Structure 1
Amino acid sequence: MAAPACERPLRMAVEQRPPYLYMNAEGQMQGSDIELVRAILQQAGCSLELLPELPRRRRYTMFLAGEIDILPAASMTAERREVAWFTAPYFVEAVALFALPEKAAKLRDIKNFEDIRSRGIGVISQSFGWFGEGFEAHKPALRNDGLLSHYDQLGHALQMLKAGRGDLVLADRAAMRQLLLRQKLNLVELDYLPMQGSARLMLSKRSVTEAQFKAIDAALQKLEESGALKQIRSRHGLQ
């Protein structure tokens, strides 16, 4: 183990998002993010403190104030780099489109969101989050055409799909696969992936020093090279 890098546990707020974070039958939080982050911090000589679940906006405000140290599964942007350190990627995040089996045959040939809009196909997407440049570019037009509906929780998206509120659900691929497996449901995943990219740990510059960040990033890369992180990801169906 590396020399201790942290004088106190680093704080991370949780959010129900299987398989990344979820509460088990015993009322304890678990998931790939907890296992991966704990392994990385332990390798760096740090420990993890889980904070209670908080609204997304409140969580980010606390992060900016240095009251939360880590936000997992983050995408790196120029704006965020002003306030946060970003580690190397620790898993590949993908966004996919899902359809009911009886409608999938007519939707399998979709290649982009221009196809979706021109054919008048309704899309059900989460009310927050980043789902790729293609979706962001076409979101205003889809909304203006009445082809866009929103969900807050993934379970609601399935209800909306069955009720005919849209033809496709846009969702995190691993999260949707986990939900379908747990509920023993069957949806068809389209070949077109609106987004596939690197997810990183975002560390607050207000509460995490550059030296601590470098130790954590080095620990992550060491565990990646050894295959330890791959083993954790595989158990949760992640790349």
Structure 2
Amino acid sequence: MGGLALAWGPSVWGSPRPRVLRALVESWPPYLVPGADGSVRGLDAELLQAICTQAGFELNWIHGSAQWRKRRYRELLNDQFDVIFSATPVPGRERTVMYSRNYRNETFMVAATDRRDPRLDGLSGFEQVLQRRVPLLHVDALSLGADFEDWRPRLAEAGLLLPYQTTRQGVDMLRLGRAPLILGDDLDVQAQARVSGVRLLRQPFGHSVQPVCLMLSRRRLDERDLTRIDQAIQVLEQRGALAAIRRRHGAT
């Protein structure tokens, strides 16, 4: 109880001591963009800072080793940081993590880069991707849109799916011709394509929009922290503050 009282009770100066939320510094444009001066910019960085300020948290950015994003959950459980961005609730994890209210949407798209590939002529859906046996790169994650998820088992059984761990890896595979199509986070893929000099051709299928939330570790945070964060998101949404940040970055 002593540690809990210290975290929530008054400081030696008589004012409430702010709770600390630790977030991991990653290069994930346009969501997280580390600066040379140690700052972190980007859509999710600005959203989290606004939420922490409203909720009365001190936001600390933690530097860690470069890892695939799929390994971040294990690092969260090992108490290396407190929050994972852009999360979708997974049943069965309630004992180890908490999920905030939705704080933005995540948009997925399918894109190509070669207009000359005859397999792409008139391509209008995943059914035709299967019929024409068109290889498809996709981010190695779940919940990539209802349309794709309906076809994922059949596409995988046909050997047409090529998962990638990082968007840079996926765009490089697209550029090198490993597959003519890529499915991934709209803003993320477009940002990496600009860096890599790859021109993307958006396809008329595979587009999906779904809300995402913050995944919070129970190692240092509890239900009261979650309530404060949820209330902060609600207040900022009512004020239009989060929407303004999202608009600046071309997100919803």
Give the shorter-chain TM-score range: 0.7 to 0.9
**Could you say what the CA RMSD is over the residues aligned between the two structures, in angstroms?**
2.7
TM-superposed CA distance for 1:80, in Å, is 2.8
* Alignment pair present for 1:214 and 2:227: yes
| Percentage identity across paired residues of the two chains | 31
**Equivalent runs, 1:70-89 vs 2, <5 Å:** 70-89=83-102
How far 1:238 sits from its partner (Å)? 0.8
- Using structure 2 for the length normalisation, give the TM-score: 0.81
Write the distance in 2 (CA, Å) between the matches of 1:195 and 1:79.
25
Which residue among 153, 166, 172 is the counterpart of 2:185?
A: 172
**Residues 85 and 190 (structure 1 numbering): CA distance in 2 closer, same or farther, change over 3 Å?**
same
2:44 aligned partner: 33
For the residue of structure 1 that corresponds to 2:57, the secondary structure is coil
Q: Is the 8 A contact 1:132 1:194 kept in 2?
A: yes
* Alignment equivalent of 1:99, drawn from 87, 91, 112: 112
Paired residue for 1:60? 73
Change (3 A) 1:102 1:111: closer
- After superposing on structure 2, the runs of 4+ consecutive aligned residues of structure 1 that deviate more than 6 Å are none
Structure 2: gaps spanning 5 or more residues: 1-14
Aligned to 2:133: 120
Partner SS state of residue 214, structure 2: strand
Residues of 2 paired with 1:191 and 1:104: CA distance?
16
Single out whichever of 167-176 and 53-62 deviates more from structure 2: 53-62
Q: 1:159-203: CA deviations, max 9, x gaps? A: 322332111011100112223345554211123235421110111
1:90 Cα shift? 0.8
Larger C-alpha radius of gyration, 1 or 2? 2
2:136 and 2:182 in contact (8 A); partners too: yes
Q: Please give the TM-score of this superposition, normalised by the length of structure 1.
A: 0.84
| Structure 2 contact 114–180 (Cα < 8 Å) conserved | no
Measure how far apart 1:12 and its partner are. 1.3
